[in-house]
Amino acid sequence: MRYAVAMSQPSTAAVRSVADRLSAFGSTIFTEISRLAIEHDAINLGQGFPNFDGPDFVKQAAINAIKDGHGQYARMFGIAELNRVIAARFNADAGLGVDPDAEVTVTSGCTEALIATFLGLVNPEEEVILFEPYYDSYRACVAMAGAEPKFVTLRPPDFAVNEQELRAAFSTKTRAILVNTPHNPTGKVFTTSELELIAALCKEHDAIAICDEVYERLVFDAEHVQLATLDGMYERTVTLSSLGKTFSLTGWKVGWAIAPPELTAGVRAAHQFITFATATPLQHGAVAALEAPDSYYAEFVEAYRRRRDVLVEGLERIGFEVYVPNGTYFVLADHTCFGFADDVAFCQHLIKEVGVAAIPPSAFYHDPADGKNLVRFAFCKDEQTLRDAIGRLEALRR
């Protein structure tokens, strides 16, 4: 065989690389910024992963599961104990009566829940409404499903939903709207009246809602309202979440989708062929996590409130116009006063000259010009790291 290869003529035709549906996306901005951060030894306030580890009681439960021989495929839609605790927690928060086996699907992170939902429930050429700035995987999910994105822009300073623009985005082809609350990257927590408007439009147009709630526990000065709890919405909503943010275990990739049986059928139709099942020992760890007492969440939010305040106060002192987040672990700020052409030029300067990595948010808009004055910082880092980053950012004032 090696001989045959050596003797064959070099081919003149280039091998086709990435399929058309994904070729426009390239590698994600997070991969790119993390690579540059390492290369320039910058403090990484870019990608949203904590620089501290998750709780011992969760890790120990996964270690025990490995030692106890839970090493084979799990049930396709999740181990029974995990489905049970996910449903119990959702029912307690939402006041609903979700059935753990018929309405909860455990996935490999919210990322897999998203693509399983899109592939299982959205047909090619149907339309999906995305608020922008958006978490970048949504647009790729729409593309992988062969659907059409429709954008509704959330604008500073408060990133409120513009009713006229939202109404105009709905059409006879609308299949779904994606609602991410608390919202990455703005830190916005959707208000009850905004959610009521979304609910009314979903019902009027017979559309479903896909709710990404991975930051559901990271809420500071607002109340997180679940769209699924509004009148007549549970039956047309898929609620997605995961363990990663709330338990500082982003690398575990344990997530879930909660939806009525008709919509769950679509999610599972795709999930069974994407990953089939999620890592069994980590599902056992997730059970321990979701059984954590309320005090865990209270301490978790307070620690994040302190981190947010360190970063926000530091950025304001340096001169940024900061849009203080009500939720998530991200801060958007306006960098215009520093005189850079756009967010990409500013972030390159930050990484290479200042030693701090942040994300240029133009990657989260269909028209990059909309994000060019902004920069996103993550504060899922210990307080000392945040203070060190602020210390370096002081260089911008000189």
Ligand X SMILES: Cc1ncc(COP(=O)(O)O)c(C=O)c1O
Binding site residues, ligand X, CB under 6 A? 48, 109-111, 135, 180, 184, 212, 214, 242, 244, 250, 253, 255
Nearer to ligand X, 220 or 340 (CB): 220
CB of 15 to ligand X, least distance (A): 31
CB of 360 to ligand X, least distance (A): 16
- CB-nearest residue to ligand X: 109
CB of 263 to ligand X, least distance (A): 19
Pairing of strands 255-258, 104-107: antiparallel
- Tell me how far apart the alpha carbons of residues 231 and 229 are, in angstroms, rounded to a whole number: 6
Nearer to ligand X, 217 or 354 (CB): 217
Nearer to ligand X, 149 or 355 (CB): 149
Nearer to ligand X, 135 or 320 (CB): 135
Nearer to ligand X, 51 or 321 (CB): 51
Nearer to ligand X, 279 or 354 (CB): 279
CB of 398 to ligand X, least distance (A): 33
CB of 239 to ligand X, least distance (A): 12
